[in-house]
């Protein structure tokens, strides 16, 4: 495992040294309105939207479970 980590680290160093422009984003080149930057912006917004829907669904599920358990406990108190 240590050998693999060393090879991965070494290849990352070599890649960064051989391709310096591959590590820079579009903001570094003052191209904030390029097609790549717009695409990146929309992809980040899309991922945030998906994350919001998933987290909201989980929260909504637990609120529903809480309401059902609350109603269930009230009904059992009325019956006894």
Q: Which residue has tokens 């917004």?
A: 45
Question: How far out from the chain centre does Cα 9 lie?
Answer: 25
At 74 the pLDDT is: 64
Domain range summary for the chain, segments of one domain joined by +: 51-80
* Rounded CA separation 30/33 (Å): 9
Q: Are 37 and 27 in contact (CB under 8 A)?
A: yes
Q: What is the mean pLDDT of residues 13-37?
A: 68
Give per-residue pLDDT as tens, 58-77.
Answer: 999 999 999 888 877 666 65
pLDDT value, residue 1: 62
More confident residue, 80 or 47: 47
> Model-level pTM?
0.54
Comparing C-alpha atoms, which of 49, 30, 48, 26 is closest to residue 39?
A: 26
Q: Which pLDDT score is estimated for 4?
A: 74
| CB distance 35 to 42 below 8 Å | no
């Amino acid at each position: 495992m240590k050998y693999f980590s060393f090879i991965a680290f070494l290849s990352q160093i070599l890649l960064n040294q051989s391709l310096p422009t591959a590590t820079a984003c579009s903001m570094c080149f003052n191209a904030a309105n390029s097609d790549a930057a717009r695409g990146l912006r929309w992809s980040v917004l899309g991922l945030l939207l998906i994350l919001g829907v998933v987290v909201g669904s989980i929260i909504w599920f637990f609120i529903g479970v809480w309401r059902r358990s609350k109603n269930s406990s009230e009904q059992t108190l009325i019956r006894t």
